[in-house]
Amino acid sequence: MSAPKLGAQHSALSTALVIFAKAPVPGQVKTRLCPPLTPDEAATLHGSFVLDTLERTKAAAAQFKLPFDRYLACAPSSTHVFFKIMEERQSVTLIDQTGDDLGTRMAQAFQSLFAQGYKHVLTVGTDVPSLPLEQYKQALTLLDSHDLVLGPALDGGYYLIALNRPVPDLFTGIPWSTDQVLKLTQEKARALGFKNALLAPWRDVDTLEDLQSLVEAATLDAKKPKRDQSFSSRTAGALQLIAKRLRSRA
């Protein structure tokens, strides 16, 4: 992994929050939604999710005064123009994802940032665009009394993982993208004698069923006062358009 541009030696903050993201390249993201989505539609939706996560993590840090330095872990490369735009507009530090699978890439990110001097490192995916801001506050609070914090996804994986030190063993021998990810990670943690905590479960977006649930959630969300809405107008609009197109194709 390339070294972050801004290490802990340049920051008074104790926590690194790492957002794992792929560039929104048609045919390379959200492929399990294609069909019925086109590759372009899937890529547009994914790009909006990345923006949502960047905006909402920034909002969480401001609202709860969380000591986050935010990093965007980029695939295939931090040199992609999409990530360069995110760096400029979202004030986030870019790093590269390095490794053959998700576990290796996450382990490398934790190792690199703890080596920079951070006391806590959290990673989050971009498939939870409406994740409540309070989840980030709770994750950091729980790290004060736990070795590991996980945010369970409804499909058996996790959308967030937070640690107080690098633990590469947590990321080895895991069948990624299966319903065993959370269970096996917890088993590894127990074998290591870790005290671990769980956040509230949340649905990430991998399948058509997930997408349909997200469309329904966004429709209900739009009826709330604007200050209470969880979905960005950008993603809500994209979901409405996709739902309309899917109905026309049925």
Local confidence band at 7 (pLDDT 50, 70, 90 cut-offs) = very low
Both tokens of 84, joined, read 């360069």
Query: 1: burial class by Cβ within 10 Å (0-12, 13-18, 19+)?
Result: middle
pLDDT of 145 strictly over 90? yes
Residue 48 pLDDT: 98
Rounded Cα gap, residues 246 and 250, in angstroms: 6
Per-chain mean pLDDT for the chain: 94
Query: 62: burial class by Cβ within 10 Å (0-12, 13-18, 19+)?
Result: exposed
Helix, strand, coil tally for the chain in percent (to 5): 45, 15, 40
What pTM, to 2 d.p., does this model score? Answer: 0.93
- Average confidence (pLDDT) over 105-118: 97
Residue 250 pLDDT: 77
pLDDT of 162 strictly over 50? yes
**Domain range annotation of the chain:** 11-204
Rounded Cα gap, residues 102 and 176, in angstroms: 7
Local confidence band at 218 (pLDDT 50, 70, 90 cut-offs) = very high
Do the Cβ atoms of 53 and 71 come closer than 8 Å?
no
pLDDT of 90 strictly over 60? yes
pLDDT of 244 strictly over 90? yes
φ, ψ dihedrals at 3, nearest 5°: -70, 135
Would you list the DSSP string of 18-42? EEEEE---TTTSSGGGTTTS-HHHH
- Residue environment code for 108-147, b if the CB has 16+ CB neighbours within 10 A, otherwise e: bbbebbbebebebbbbbbbbbbbbebebbbbbbebbeebb
φ, ψ dihedrals at 106, nearest 5°: -70, -45
Alpha carbon of residue 70 to chain centroid: 12
Local confidence band at 5 (pLDDT 50, 70, 90 cut-offs) = very low
Both tokens of 12, joined, read 């008074």
Local confidence band at 120 (pLDDT 50, 70, 90 cut-offs) = very high
Percent of the chain predicted with pLDDT > 70: 95
Q: Which residues contact 97 (CB under 8 A, 6 or more apart)?
A: 1, 20, 73, 74, 75, 105, 108, 109
Residue 204 pLDDT: 94
Strand partners, 15: 68, 120
Rounded Cα gap, residues 12 and 68, in angstroms: 10
pLDDT of 2 strictly over 50? no
Residue 199 pLDDT: 98
Residue 1 pLDDT: 43
- pLDDT tens per residue, range 191-215: 999 999 999 999 999 999 999 999 9
pLDDT of 20 strictly over 60? yes
Residue 13 pLDDT: 84
Rounded Cα gap, residues 103 and 173, in angstroms: 9
**For 11-204, CATH number?**
3.90.550.10
- Going by the DSSP 8-state scheme, the letter that residue 133 receives in this structure is T
Percent of the chain predicted with pLDDT > 90: 94
Query: 233: burial class by Cβ within 10 Å (0-12, 13-18, 19+)?
Result: exposed
pLDDT of 12 strictly over 90? no
Q: Which residues contact 137 (CB under 8 A, 6 or more apart)?
A: 60, 64, 66
